[in-house]
Structures are given as C-alpha cells and as structure tokens.
Amino acid sequence: MPAENRIMRVLKRDDLKAVIAIDALVSKQQRDEYYERKFDSILNTTHNINSSIVCEIAGRVVGFIMGDVYFGEFGIPETNATIDTIGVHPEFANRGVASEMLDQFMMNMKAARVGKVYTLVNWDDFALEKFFAHHKFAPSKRVNLECTVI
C-alpha cells in the first residue's frame, strides 16, 4: 500500500459534518442533533479537556473517537474517562485507523492521569466488542442498570 498522509488530531468544530456523515454510514442513524449537542459540550471553553480524536487521510476526516473525562463524578473518586462513540468510514476500514485513534486516545488519557476508560457496547454488536477486546478492554465490575420509563 502506498504511504498515505495520515494524521491523528483533536476534534474541532469544522469536523461536525464529517462525523455526522460517518456515523450515518456505520450506525445507519441520522443523529445530527445528538452530535450538534455533543460538539457544543466538548468544544465549550469551560469544558475541561477535549479528548476526542479524529483521523485525517489526505485532508479528509475518515474516523473519530468521541470521549469525555470525569474528575471524581458519580461517586467514583478516581479520574476516569468514557468513549461515547467511535466510527470509521467504511472505505477506510481494516487499515488500522480505529486502532491508531484508540492508541492516541489512551496515550492522552495516560497523560491526563486517567485511571480507567469505560465504554458501552450493545451485547449483540460482536464486531465492536471484538475490536475493543483486541485492545485490552474487558467486562467492567461496574454494573449498567436500567429502568424503562412508563
């Protein structure tokens, strides 16, 4: 494969359209409002750390990881982080894009002294589960509780 101009960098406001388009392709959902709100929160100047990463190949955004860092919230004393969404454009799949973004994300988390990174995967999303398992993610000791609102 020829050398490509691949860069990992932090997410910025101009990435909104690309992120929405990639998410629509991989999740089959059109979640414009969700991402608009998420970008507003992440890029808000009072927000602590912008931990979200995008991958650019030849100037085009081809993948993203959106995360958040929490300092002692939810009664958990250690600093921890979440990966809320991840997506790679299908044309650029299986080329290590997600792996490289995750490596960068984890490096940044280490620098921010984050103890643990959490993510949620639907129980039947085997591809995503396999991806995280290959990157040393394992079932958590925290239990995810839910209650249907009636």
**Which residues bind to ligand COA, rule: CB under 6 A?**
26-27, 85-88, 93-99, 127-128, 130-131, 134
User: Using CB atoms, what's the residue nearest to ligand COA?
Assistant: 96
Q: 79 vs 82, which CB is nearer to ligand COA?
A: 82
57 within 8 A of 5, measured Cβ to Cβ:
yes
Q: 71 vs 129, which CB is nearer to ligand COA?
A: 129
CB of 72 to ligand COA, least distance (A): 25
CA distances from 66 to 21, 49, 56, 93, 97 (A): 15, 12, 15, 18, 14
CA distances from 125 to 15, 39, 46, 103 (A): 26, 25, 34, 21
CB of 131 to ligand COA, least distance (A): 4
Q: 71 vs 119, which CB is nearer to ligand COA?
A: 119
Q: 70 vs 129, which CB is nearer to ligand COA?
A: 129
For 103, left (φ over 0), alpha (ψ -120 to 50), or beta?
A: alpha
Beta bridge partners of 37: none
Q: 97 vs 109, which CB is nearer to ligand COA?
A: 97
In the DSSP assignment, the letter for residue 78 is: S
CB of 81 to ligand COA, least distance (A): 15
CB of 39 to ligand COA, least distance (A): 16
CB of 108 to ligand COA, least distance (A): 17
CA distances from 80 to 13, 103, 146 (A): 24, 16, 21
